[in-house]
Chain A
Amino acid sequence: MENLTTQLQGVPLNHYIWLSAIIFTIGVIGVLTRRNAIVIFMSVELMLNAVNLLLTAFSVHSNDPSGQVFVFFIMALAAAEVAVGLSIIVMVYRNTKSIDINVLNRLKW
């Protein structure tokens, strides 16, 4: 196992940055273009995961375990966020019979 992982390393750090930037942007595009509240939620999860991957890569790069501990906290936070958010979506659906976020634009007033 350790032989394998040492063999697999050597990817430049900025390729990890590019990958995370691209996946984060895909999440942003999903939030901007979709109207289904659940798909928007999934795009937010994509953004969180892009950040997690980058934190792990930097943690390995600077040989500091704090980054990976932080990723662990982000995962706990994401679990809490998903539970509350999905129950809000269920309640919105119960009241409006739709999860189109444009139905919620009356929250503006």
Chain B
Amino acid sequence: MLASLSRRAILAIYAVIIIIPLTVVAFGSFKSTQELFAGPFSLPHSLSPDNFAEVVGGQNLGNSFINSAIVTGISVPLTLFLASLAGYAVSRLKGFMSWAIFGFLVLGMAIPAQANMVPLYVLFGRLGLLDSLAGLILANVVSTLPIAVFILGGFMRTLPKELYEASSIDGSGPWKTYSSIALPLSAPSIAAAAIFLFVIHWNELLYPLLFIQSPGNRTLPLALLSFQGEFQTNYPLLFAGVILASLPVVVAYVFLQRYFVAGITAGASKG
């Protein structure tokens, strides 16, 4: 009885600690500064879109939103494509080569982005990739390819070998077997990896901070960060920015929750 009561108490308290700040942010994004400070918990007087209009138009976050969408929209499928090709080969090759390719690709998970950022910056400078969305796409692909290979290759290795063999008896080449057998059967793990990559690429801050100079090329996290200095205590404006930056991920979470948990956990369990 006492145990069940304290269980409920702990869960309720933590639920409140999560819900309250999120509600305050959601309500606050419609308020003026004075209104927020006077009553942070109260419902907004009106659903005035002023803060959003200022953030999207005046502060050009609309443009950053499009940049983020372009970068994420290309880097996620590209990472999945390269990783699934490699994962497929690893699952079909045998012995040392399979092991060596997988090991080489996955080893990168142990290298934190900050470890090679200086040489990468110099390399990108030489290739003319600084201050461009193409550079951000490439950096996203490079930094998450190891974990994507780990997730997809790991999954494809568990697919029954007989399937591949049946397909090659039918006379299908490796590409046909990859696209019509390996890919469809790996759909659940591709979905999980896609979500994992989407969250990472959408929220990525280090590479934009490192590479992007012109405000017109900023992605959302970088644009938000630059708010930090400008609008120290204009919280309603910051909150509107937070909502805008979180919206796609939150909408996806509501509809694809299962894959979120699977994907982000697969990412975490890499050890």
Indicate, yes or no, whether A interacts with B. no
Residues of B within 8 A of A (CB): none
